[in-house]
Structure 1
Amino acid sequence: MSLRICILETDVLRPELVEQYQGYGRMFEQLFARQPIAAEFSVYNVMNGQYPPDDLQFDAYLVTGSKADSFGNDPWIQTLKAFLLDRYQRGDKLLGVCFGHQLLALLLGGKAERATQGWGVGVHDYQVPGRAPWMSPEVQELSLLISHQDQVTALPENATVIASSPFCQFAAFHIGDQVLCFQGHPEFMHDYSRALLDLRQQSLGPVVYDAAIDSLGREHHGTTVAEWMMRFVAHNR
């Protein structure tokens, strides 16, 4: 039986990228199609006020990345936080990526803010200090495409770190069997990352831009993380 995942899309792509990539919801659907656990998806753009009807049941809710700040005061962010807190209190499983990772950390007692380290872009490597039964296939080091200038700087007190680097200490965490979050973008493709880097080349500066472009020659573990997410959702279901 397929897992049912609600994707809460928290951004609209830049106009010049929409035709090729459509949106983050579509990117996640394509990502999860490449891992072995059957799942079906419903996408709601919460930035535009779209939410699932109350009578629809899902096995998990996934919060995507966004250009917005997780600590921002935009009305749609406040609405989303209230929705997610309600789901959390009901015991639903929650997944977060980038903005979603930061928002869930904030919502559950952690802290997220503009990072003193500056922009993180390109392919980034993380140590994997912990192991959980749903972290299969097993890897010693995790590589993911990233694009963020904000970071989680304090975790909720009941959270466990599962990926860390000197640049980003709290790059992935879980809270029991209920919350799983990643700062990196498993759904990104190299060409989409390249397009974002080119659009931001001026603001990134030559050193950061050139290093990020060089890193795009390497593979990343996006499909592995997608499988971890689906195994997490299926675990103790």
Structure 2
Amino acid sequence: MSLRICILETDVLRPELLDPYVGYGAMFQRLFAKQPIPAQFVIYNVMEGDYPARDERFDAYLVTGSKADSFGPEAWIQVLKDYLRERYAAGDKLLGVCFGHQLLALLFGGRAERASGGWGVGIHNYQLHHQAPWMTPALDGLTLLISHQDQVTALPENATLLASSPFCAHAAYCIGDQVLCFQGHPEFVPEYSRALLDIRQKCIGEPTYRTAVAGLEHEHHGATVAEWMMRFVGHK
């Protein structure tokens, strides 16, 4: 039986990136097509006020990345936080990536703010701290494409740390069997990361830019994280 996943899209891509990437929802659809667990996806752009009907139910709700700050005051962010509280209270499973990772940490008592180390870009390696049954196939370490200037600086009290690095101490976490979040972007492909790096070259600085571009040649574990997510959703 196929899982039903609601993708809560929290951004609109820059005009120059719309073709061929369309949006983060479409990027996640392409990512999840690479993993073996059958799943169907419906995309709602909550930044534009689009949400599922009240009587529509999904196996999980995934909050995407965004240019917005998770701790920002925008009205649509407050509406999204209220919606996620309702879903959590109803027992639904929640997935978060980058902005979603930070927003869910904030929602449950953690902290997110500007990263003291500046921009995190390119490809990044993390140490794994926990091995859950749904983390199959198993990895010795985690490598993901990243693009963020904010990050989680304190986890919710009931969260379990899954991955960290010296640059990003709270790179992945779960809360029981209901919440699973990653700072890195499993849905990114090197070409998209390069496009973002080119756009942000001046603000991130030339040395960081060159190092990040060179790192895009390395493999990353996006498809594995996608499978972990689907196994987490299906795990009872």
Place the TM-score, normalised by the shorter chain, in its bin: over 0.9
Q: 1:211 Cα deviation (Å)?
A: 0.7
| CA distance in 1 between partners of 2:189 and 2:60 (Å) | 24
Q: 1:210 Cα deviation (Å)?
A: 0.7
Q: What's the CA shift string for 1:132-160, capped at 9, x where partnerless?
A: 00000000110000000001000000000
How many residues are matched? 236
Q: 1:103 Cα deviation (Å)?
A: 0.1
| CA distance in 2 between partners of 1:121 and 1:187 (Å) | 15
User: Aligned runs of 1:75-90 on 2, under 5 Å?
Assistant: 75-90=75-90
Secondary structure of the corresponding residue to residue 17 of structure 1:
helix
Q: Which residue identity does 1:192 align to in structure 2?
A: Y
Partner of 1:194: 194
Extract unaligned runs of 5+ from structure 1: none
Runs of 4+ in 1 over 3 A off after TM superposition: none
| CA distance in 1 between partners of 2:55 and 2:80 (Å) | 18
Q: Please tell me whether residue 130 in structure 1 is matched to residue 130 in structure 2.
A: yes
Q: 1:207 Cα deviation (Å)?
A: 1.1
Partner of 2:181: 181
| CA distance in 2 between partners of 1:207 and 1:171 (Å) | 24
User: Aligned runs of 1:128-167 on 2, under 5 Å?
Assistant: 128-167=128-167
Q: 1:19 Cα deviation (Å)?
A: 1.5
| CA distance in 2 between partners of 1:79 and 1:144 (Å) | 29
Q: What's the CA shift string for 1:156-212, capped at 9, x where partnerless?
A: 000001111000000000001000000000000000000000000010101110110
Partner of 2:38: 38
Secondary structure of the corresponding residue to residue 158 of structure 1:
coil
Secondary structure of the corresponding residue to residue 31 of structure 1:
helix
Q: What's the CA shift string for 1:1-22, capped at 9, x where partnerless?
A: 0000000000000000002100
User: Aligned runs of 1:26-105 on 2, under 5 Å?
Assistant: 26-105=26-105
Secondary structure of the corresponding residue to residue 180 of structure 2:
strand
Q: 1:55 Cα deviation (Å)?
A: 1.0
Partner of 2:5: 5
| CA distance in 2 between partners of 1:94 and 1:139 (Å) | 23
Extract unaligned runs of 5+ from structure 2: none
CA RMSD of aligned residues (A): 0.4
